[in-house]
Copies of this chain bind each other. A is one copy, B any other.
Amino acid sequence: MKPHFDHVALIGLGLIGSSLGHVIKQHGLARRVSGTARSAATRETAMRIGFVDDVHEDPADCVRGADLVILCTPVGTFAKLAEQMAPALKPGAILTDAGSVKCSVIEAIKPHLPEGVHFIPGHPIAGTEYSGPEAGFAELFEGRWCILTPLPDTDDDALARLKAFWEACGSEVEIMTPDHHDLVLAITSHLPHLIAYNIVGTASDLETVTEKEVIKFSASGFRDFTRIAASDPVMWRDIFMNNREAVLEMLGRFTEDLASLQRAIRWGDGQALEELFTRTRAVRRSIIESGQDTPAPDFGRHGVPSQETEKPAKKTA
């Protein structure tokens, strides 16, 4: 395949950065891949695994001459990185990122950018609960959405090139405004993570039920929350710090609804509960129909389907 870019610079070599390195190498999407990471150990690991061609301690050295620069660090680091990289960015280069929030990222990066650099904020909706340079794999983006949130003055050609790059990584690309992205992610990703972190915290603090018991009987529901509550702490701290308005808005609605459920339980209003529980079942069906999950029952038994469902598909979208 003809390379999409001559020289790609990956800023941050964790799960996203290393997966990008792998997929670029696997499909020959660039002639050269440079990487930077704060920790020398991470840079060494990246070179040893071989998903980058060269590593640099200084982000400016990493981006020098690159025609695609992808920020793959926690979003709280973006302002400082943009400031450091700015003088070394090549005119005509595309700068994008993989951050889970977009409005605050634009505020953090835009003021530092020199003329002639195409800044197109992005967000691959892909990840696992693992982090670090050894967690990456080339298939991470396969069949997953990647959202791009171009600015009013974004160059059409640059946008088309970035879109083609993500498609070559296996993703489907969706374009939306930064504001709308932040609302969509607040409900589909940020609030679910917040609630998962919260219930795992609540469960660990109980005096009446031991942590050992919580773990032992976790397959009855709790377990499903612990997986997403195991995601990278610094990345998630930064997401909540940087999508405050949208998260607080969604959290307010969630709490209001929960108070109403609490009231229904206290006063024995079974009808209200049954109505909600019936409605939510339909949402699950839509998610399976849209290919965003498999119908296989998941009660700690990957690969043991019930009689009425098929084996989990290898690729779901």
Most buried by B among A218, A238, A280: A280
Within the complex, what minimum Cβ distance (angstroms) separates A145 from chain B? 6
| A229 at interface, CB cutoff 8 A | yes
Within the complex, what minimum Cβ distance (angstroms) separates A195 from chain B? 6
A216 and B292 contact, CB distance less than 8 A: yes
> Majority SS of interface residues in chain A?
helix
Instruction: Contacts A139-B304, A183-B208, A316-B301 given; indicate if A280 touches B200 (C-beta within 8 A).
Output: yes
A276 and B201 contact, CB distance less than 8 A: yes
- What string of 1s and 0s marks CB contacts (under 8 Å) between A276-310 and chain B? 11111101111100101110111111111011110
Which bucket holds chain A's interface residue count?
35 or more
Give the complex CA separation of A72 and B209 in angstroms. 26
The interface of chain A, by Cβ under 8 A from chain B, is 76, 100, 125-130, 134-137, 139-140, 142-145, 147, 174, 180, 183-185, 187-206, 208-209, 211, 213-231, 233-234, 236-238, 240-241, 244, 247-248, 250-251, 253-255, 257-259, 261-262, 265-266, 268, 270, 273-274, 276-281, 283-287, 290, 292-294, 296-304, 306-309, 312-317
A284 and B230 contact, CB distance less than 8 A: yes
Task: Give the residues in chain B near A127, CB-CB below 8 Å.
Answer: 220, 299
